[in-house]
Structure formats: structure tokens, C-alpha cells
Structure 1
Amino acid sequence: MIVEHTYGLEILWEPIDEPPGTKVLGALAPSLKRIVLNDRHLAMFEGFVGPERFTLAHELAHWIYDAEMSGQGTLDFDTPDQTFCYWRESDSIDETTRLRELNANKLAAHLILPDDLVRAANLDQVLANFRDTARHWGVSLTTLRIKLDTLGLLDSGDRQQLGTLGL
């Protein structure tokens, strides 16, 4: 609702081309005020909690940072149907794009997992019920682990415990 009603961005499901060996979950088409979710991964979006929300928040962050804050670098709104998407595995990503991706990930994490919410939770209960907590908060296990680590809430024992979950 935030994406569509507050920011007036349209959300569509369409196939997005992917370079070999990469996974592109979403993209922003700024001149069309559109976020495109890659319908090639619909089963993954439907089968796992978190990726759809994070992808929408990530693309919204691109809209906020790159369209409204010129200091972040601007997107080209004069090119009709231009869609912007990048992937982490790209060796050719320039410093401006790297900064855009980093900022989009950080804002997305703050939107879907506010710091105060995470800090207010009982960490022992979160760790003991990690999967249920992630599901209840509507995020992936990886997103939750990264958030806890970023906030400095995990010690080496906690990281080792989460490592048994493959995180």
C-alpha cells in the first residue's frame, strides 16, 4: 500500500531478462512510475516469506533516493520504458550504482524491520524461535540475521547457532 498509495508507483509482474547465473527479483521503471517484479520467480515469491516485501521496499528506496534526492545520483526519466535493475554479481558495477544498491538495501531493511521493533524484542526468544519470528515479522531468515548483526545484537555464539540454520 505504501508503494502504490503513498508514492503512486504501479506494481506489475512481468518477466525480466537475467544474465546467466544471476537472479533479478525486481526493477524500477522510473519514467513509468513502475516497479516490476520478475514473474520468472513467482513460485519463489509465493513459497517464501520475505522476498516480495524486501524487493518492493528495495525498489521503493531507489525511487526515494535516486528520484527525489539528487545528491544520490539521478535516474534518467527522459528515456521511455527504461528499466533499471542491477545484480550483486556484476563485476562492472560502478561506484555510484554500488552506492545506490547499498542505500536501497539499507532503507528497505529499515522499512520492513524498524530498529526499535528489533531492539525491543527479547533476543533469546528471537534466537530460540528464529524461523517463527522471521515468518511472523514477514521477512526472510537472511534479512533477519543481517538486521540483528547490523544492530550489533549478535555475538559469536549467536552467529554459530544461526550457522546451524545455514545462515
Structure 2
Amino acid sequence: MKRHLQCLRNEAIDGVTAQRIREYESKTGVTVSLPVPVEQIVEQVLGLDFDWDEIEELPGEQILGGLDAVNKKILLNEKHTALFDSKPGLLRSTIGHEAGHYDIDIDRAKLMHPTLPGMDFAPSIAKRHAKKSDRVIEILLDRAASDPRAAKLLQQIKDGQDTAEQRSAVDRYQSSLLMPDWLMREAAERIDIAKWTNLYRLAEEAQVNISNLTVRLRRLGLIYLRDGDKTIYRSEDEFTGQKSLF
């Protein structure tokens, strides 16, 4: 049975990722700080391995990585190594995203048991070919732009996509894993996060992109941003107070 991801509140996801970090700290005797050692946590706590492979893509599809859940592997698409290199934090967020699928999305117990013909455990599973291993794999896919001109192509891509609930939950998972609540609050106490220069430094320290960081800080209630307004406020009340001065 597919989990009801839409019911997972931010606090619940924060609790799961905090537990994974604490498990890692207990195993290694290391206190986690920024940047969070996401690869080591995924390997040592969740028991997932990593493979770089060339994953086939449909026309208009961009697959950064996928989860081979049965074999407990996160697959990273070597077609996009240049993109990973050019966008700091993208590889880490992709790993965190796939770890989220494994940790809070799929029914791992069901993976070990055969299903009736035509009954998949989740609609986001798609078959793609991995060239190095020369096998067809079933993976939960991340994808980007699609071709709006071809309705049939769009449906082909859509058939393998994460649902909105899945994207929200696993994206919140990766954000929470890479930027734990207590480390973000500690950062907010030692630096002025109402300044963009400091936020960019914090993003570099956490090894995430600036968009991922600002979304996380907003979700934690540490900053408030208005669409189209580049000013950073510490809360909505601060914004309302500033607005009343004009």
C-alpha cells in the first residue's frame, strides 16, 4: 500500500531525518555539523549504495537520478555530471531526494514479495535501461522539462512521474536532512540571515543551493519573503510593521 505522503507534516519529516542523523552520530561517534554528511548517512543508516550509470531518458525528459529500491541503490545519471558540477548542491539534493523515496515513500516490505499481475506498489515506478549494468531497472524517477507539443509524449512521461504529494514529501525530506532544524536555528543565532550575502555564505557552508536554503528557512519560520520583493524579513509581522510605516 502506498503511503499517504500528503498527511506527513513538516514536523513528522523533521523527526524522521533527525532520527537518521542521530543514528549516524551514534554509529560513528561524530557530532554532525554543516555540511551534513548526506552520503555517509544514506550508506550507513539507510543501507543504500550509489552507482553512476547512464540512464535512458525519453525525449524531453531529464533524469538526474533514480532509486533501484529492490537492490538498495541510488542511481545517479552520469549523462548529467557536467550539470552536477555546475550547480553546487544539486548532487546532494538529488541523493537526499532519492533517500526520501526509500525512507518515507515506498513500502519496503512489499518489495520483497511478488505482486499480482498488473499491480505495482506505486504508480511512480518506471522501467528504464541502465547501460553499464546492461539491464532494465525499475526506479522511482526524477524528471524535469517535458515537450508540450506532444500529448502522447507527455502522457508517457507523466506515467512515470512522482505525484505532487510525493514530490512535496521527498523534497521536504531532502531539505530537512541537508539542513536540520537545530543547525539552521543555530546558524540564525550566529549570523544575520536577513542579509543576502550571509545567506549565500550559509548556502556554501551547508553545500546547498540558495533556493533550497531560503525555502527551508521560510518553512522553519526563520525568514519571510514576499514574491517579487528581495527584502528579507525575519517574520511576517516584521514585514507588516515595515509596511505600516509607509
Q: Which TM-score band applies after superposition, normalised by the shorter structure? A: 0.7 to 0.9
How far the C-alpha of 1:155 sits from its partner, in A, is 3.5
SS at match of 2:177: helix
Structure 2 residue 196 is the aligned partner of structure 1 residue 156: no
Moved more, 152-161 or 139-148: 152-161
1:19 aligns with 58
SS at match of 2:143: coil
List per-residue Cα deviations over 1:12-49 (Å, max 9, x = no partner).
11112233334221100111111101111112222332
Q: Equivalences for 1:34-113 in 2 at 5 Å?
A: 34-65=73-104, 66-68=106-108, 74-75=121-122, 81-87=137-143, 89=145, 92=158, 97-113=163-179
Instruction: Determine which of 7, 28, 47 is the counterpart of 2:67.
Output: 28
State how far apart, in whole Å, the 2-side matches of 1:111 and 1:47 are.
22
List per-residue Cα deviations over 1:72-103 (Å, max 9, x = no partner).
x94599x9831221435566369983222221
How far the C-alpha of 1:161 sits from its partner, in A, is 4.4
List per-residue Cα deviations over 1:119-141 (Å, max 9, x = no partner).
33234365332322211111011
1:165 aligns with none
2:7 aligns with none
State how far apart, in whole Å, the 2-side matches of 1:96 and 1:40 are.
21
SS at match of 1:13: strand
State how far apart, in whole Å, the 1-side matches of 2:167 and 2:201 are.
29
What letter matches 1:82 in structure 2?
E
Moved more, 126-135 or 26-35: 126-135
How far the C-alpha of 1:59 sits from its partner, in A, is 0.3
What letter matches 2:230 in structure 1?
Q
State how far apart, in whole Å, the 1-side matches of 2:109 and 2:231 are.
40
Q: Which runs of 5+ in 2 are unaligned?
A: 1-39, 111-119, 128-135, 147-153, 233-246
Instruction: Determine which of 142, 145, 149 is the counterpart of 2:214.
Output: 145
Hey, which of these two has a bigger chunk of helix by percent?
A: 1
Higher CA-based Rg: 2
What letter matches 1:154 in structure 2?
Y
Q: Which runs of 5+ in 1 are unaligned?
A: 163-167
Q: Is the 8 A contact 2:74 2:95 kept in 1?
A: yes
Number of residues of Structure 1 aligned to a counterpart in Structure 2? 159
How far the C-alpha of 1:57 sits from its partner, in A, is 0.8
What letter matches 1:99 in structure 2?
E
**TM-score, normalised relative to structure 2:** 0.54
SS at match of 1:81: strand
Moved more, 79-88 or 141-150: 79-88
State how far apart, in whole Å, the 1-side matches of 2:216 and 2:159 are.
25
Moved more, 147-156 or 99-108: 147-156
